[in-house]
Structure 1
Amino acid sequence: MVPILQLILIIITRIQYLFCITSLPLVMSQPEVAEHPVTHPAPFQLTVAGFGEKKDWETYHTYLPINPEPKFALAHQRFKLDISGFGHRAEQGALQAVWVGLMVKDTEGLMETEYLILIDVPTQEPTASAPQNPIVQHCIELYVNQRISELGSLLGSLFLPPVLEEMGPRPDNLESLLARSHLCYRLQPGADDDAVTFEPWATPILRGEIDWTSEILGDILQKVPVFAHSDIESFREIKRRKIYEVVINGKTLIFKFPHVTETLAREVNILRKMADREPGVRVPKVAGIIGVNTSQPGILMTLVPSGRDLSVVLESDPDISRAERQKWYDQVSEMVRILHRNGCVWGDVKDANILIDENRDAWLIDFEGSRTPDWVDEDLKGTEAGDLQGLKKLHEVLQLEAEEGIGLQMLRKLCSSFLNMCAFLMNSVLRFLDHIPGICLGILVLPFG
């Protein structure tokens, strides 16, 4: 009896995947750290992470889309400047440091370098004997008041002129390019009250370090091929400082730049598990690790043939048929179900992490375990419920609900309610059956009490 009821409950759960049923609200929660590019209207009017009331600060990072034309004019006409991002670090509600990213492009050398400028917030109140540096103070005020463009322009005028004189040609190997494309500096008060200096800073602002001595990575390195950067024969940038197409031993692979130890291990382990247990699932396969014990490591994965991410496909072709959009949704839903069946969670569910190949089939990518606001809530990050919430958002992005018609939408809601009720009743019955032995024993013992 009990196995039959459990089987029925499993069937109901699987049907729920098809409907992508979830009672979880699609409300964007305030992120502790924004982990993926987020666009904001100009001028900035953020209310998250402490910007609203300028207190109770929480750590926050965001990247901005880079405009084709520069926002700021430079004395060196060959260089273009734009703001690539900004953010801050906070502890116990207090602002500790702020940063601004300056993206500089050398139009002659075709080299792009992002300079992250870190500014520490003074921890002591200024006094007559120890006044606060006016430039540092002005930078902090500009940031707190969300005058990011002015802050970028100021930092650019102070920092870039001597740096641009030393910019060399674009490196011809990926390791050097990665090292040159992202540099950190710290703004420090100068010897004079109205002067500042910029000191190189090796500590990463936006990413952690990879601990190659950890047990989890030691296990991975024994099971996958390991390559050196010198093995790369050629490369092509797909997504700056994130994804590159590389050729090793004549084979084209994808190089992905990892963030921290945990995300690297998570992605490799999930992809290897899928390759072993579900080889038919359309996810990349791990081809190796490159750059062990260097500052520019990467995961090597197989290339998705002619893959374009779904967000680009939808934007470039607004006339895609409903049947094809439904096919992609069904394919993604089925692959998520298979992941869950194998104890894995996708995590960062969104259209940009779905690739459409040359046969117009959907692939899943990015298994680092992060999330994107407005797709998955913070409290559901890394859970099966978060994946289901992301699928519901995908259903909306593919504009499938709008075309179903009122009657079909009502039928979907009725089926959803019915299946939820059935699952609840089955769980209740199973819990009741678990207590039957105890109840029967109590009835037998009662007359002798």
Structure 2
Amino acid sequence: MSHTVIDSHIDLASSWVTVMCRATRFHITVAYKDIQKSRFETEYSEMVATAIDDDDGEDHDVLCEWIVGPCLSYFRESTQDAPREITFGDFYYPETHHLKLLVSESELSPKATRDRGTMNPFHIMIPSSDLPPFPEIPRLKASDLRIISDTKWDDYMSEIPQKAIIADGSIKFFKPADDKKQLLREVDMHLRIRHAGLQDVRIAQLHGIVVSDDGRMTIGLLLDLIPSTGDSLYSYRNSASALEHHERWKQQITDIVKKLHAHGLVWGDVHPGNIVIDTSFDAWVVDFGGGSIVEFVPRKIAGTKEGDWHGVGKVFDEWILEDR
């Protein structure tokens, strides 16, 4: 059953996982004392130990799914009447069930419980008071934005949405506010791009900031949707299209970076995932939140013009046709 782990905490005494499933939130807790002397005691203890020492997150994810697994039938029963049409308000302020795992007849089973205050309901939001006012940028209320529905699959009700339908029926790209520092840089860069008059460059323009209906929480950003199949350059590595369009894409990205640098602007996070290919096979630059992937931009030059050029060279001179 489709679900997404939104937040989690791992500790031997008590671990918890917050999950979204069909626009409903489930907060699941497992306490060591509740499974002690059962067949799950050793398994849980060992999984916690490996998850805590886990560097790549794989063991952490395994433990989260171990906690979620016994609850899937509960998810199904609790969400049978979930509406197919939902708004961002429905997703970010959902009905919430609090569960704890107990041993029943040698099996782990969920039991409804009270809110014990361990869940952070605003984990994937930022308090608006922590951000500058940004008076130039429109605010859009979460309940006024619809999530694109799918008649066949429920994934859109369980995963953080990537697209939003606004009041006029058009579709925008949604970027969640899951990192304050990155959001601040993203907004600042888009304002500077706007002031520099670079609206004609293949950069998705910032449309607005999504907030809770009371305005207290910032949920994310809306940007113009690039007319593409949703594929970044990662999808084209060593492909026939890459062989055909490689030089064109390199020149297009080079031209965009030159224009940014001419106005004192640094892209900052150059890697294939931040280059989107549209339906006309033109290359676009996305993501001005900062950060870097060391495979493409070494940390010591990340966030500099030198880092941008190093990343562009790495992507187009080495990575994209590496196996050709």
Output the TM-score relative to the length of structure 2: 0.69
Residue 314, structure 1, aligned to residue 236, structure 2: yes
Q: Which residue of 2 aligns with 1:156?
A: 68
Distance 1:397 1:103, change over 3 A: farther
Q: Which residue of 1 aligns with 2:269?
A: 348
In 2, distance between residues paired with 1:182 and 1:379? 45
CA drift of 1:402 comes to 6.6
CA contact (8 A) 1:244 1:255 kept: yes
Secondary structure of the 1:359 match is coil
Q: For 1:159-308, what aligned pairs fall within 5 Å after superposition?
A: 159-167=71-79, 168-179=81-92, 200=115, 201-203=118-120, 207=123, 209-214=125-130, 216-218=131-133, 220=134, 222-232=135-145, 235=148, 240-277=159-196, 278-292=198-212, 293=215, 297-306=219-228, 308=230
Secondary structure of the 1:297 match is strand
Matched letter for residue 142 of structure 1: M
Q: Which residue of 2 aligns with 1:10?
A: none
Q: For 1:22-171, what aligned pairs fall within 5 Å after superposition?
A: 80=1, 111=22, 133=36, 138-145=43-50, 151=63, 154-167=66-79, 168-171=81-84
Secondary structure of the 1:271 match is helix
Secondary structure of the 2:241 match is coil
Secondary structure of the 1:289 match is strand
Task: Give the number of the structure whose alpha-carbon radius of gyration is greater.
Answer: 1
Secondary structure of the 2:166 match is strand
CA drift of 1:337 comes to 3.4
| Equivalent residue pairs, number | 297
CA contact (8 A) 1:136 1:189 kept: no
Query: Identity rate of aligned residues, in percent?
Result: 21
User: Deviation per CA, 1:348-406, whole angstroms, max 9, x where unpaired?
Assistant: 3222221112332111112222334634445555444443443243122321x676xxx
Distance 1:186 1:337, change over 3 A: farther
Q: Which residue of 2 aligns with 1:327?
A: 248
CA contact (8 A) 1:246 1:255 kept: no
Distance 1:343 1:322, change over 3 A: same
CA contact (8 A) 2:177 2:221 kept: yes
In 2, distance between residues paired with 1:387 and 1:238? 37
In 2, distance between residues paired with 1:269 and 1:382? 14
Secondary structure of the 1:367 match is coil
Q: For 1:320-399, what aligned pairs fall within 5 Å after superposition?
A: 320=241, 322-372=243-293, 374-378=295-299, 380-395=301-316, 396-399=318-321
In 2, distance between residues paired with 1:144 and 1:314? 39
CA drift of 1:291 comes to 2.0
Q: Which residue of 1 aligns with 2:56?
A: none
In 2, distance between residues paired with 1:271 and 1:227? 17
Matched letter for residue 194 of structure 2: A
Distance 1:233 1:133, change over 3 A: closer
Secondary structure of the 1:391 match is helix
Secondary structure of the 1:165 match is helix
**More displaced, 361-370 or 146-155?**
146-155
CA contact (8 A) 1:253 1:300 kept: yes
CA contact (8 A) 1:288 1:300 kept: yes
CA contact (8 A) 2:175 2:221 kept: yes
Secondary structure of the 1:141 match is helix
User: Deviation per CA, 1:52-107, whole angstroms, max 9, x where unpaired?
Assistant: xxxxxxxxxxxxxxxxxxxxxxxxxxxx26886998679xxxx9986667676xxx
Q: Which residue of 2 aligns with 1:24?
A: none
CA contact (8 A) 1:98 1:140 kept: no
Distance 1:280 1:162, change over 3 A: closer
User: Deviation per CA, 1:270-298, whole angstroms, max 9, x where unpaired?
Assistant: 12211221233211111112224365722
In 2, distance between residues paired with 1:182 and 1:365? 34
Secondary structure of the 1:145 match is helix
User: Deviation per CA, 1:93-148, whole angstroms, max 9, x where unpaired?
Assistant: xx9986667676xxxxxx3768575668x9xxxxxxx9994557642411433666
Secondary structure of the 1:142 match is helix
In 1, distance between residues paired with 2:203 and 2:136? 19
The CA RMSD over aligned residues, in Å, is 4.5
CA drift of 1:180 comes to 7.0
Gaps of 5+ in 2: 52-58, 150-155
CA contact (8 A) 1:272 1:285 kept: no
In 1, distance between residues paired with 2:282 and 2:301? 28
CA drift of 1:302 comes to 1.5
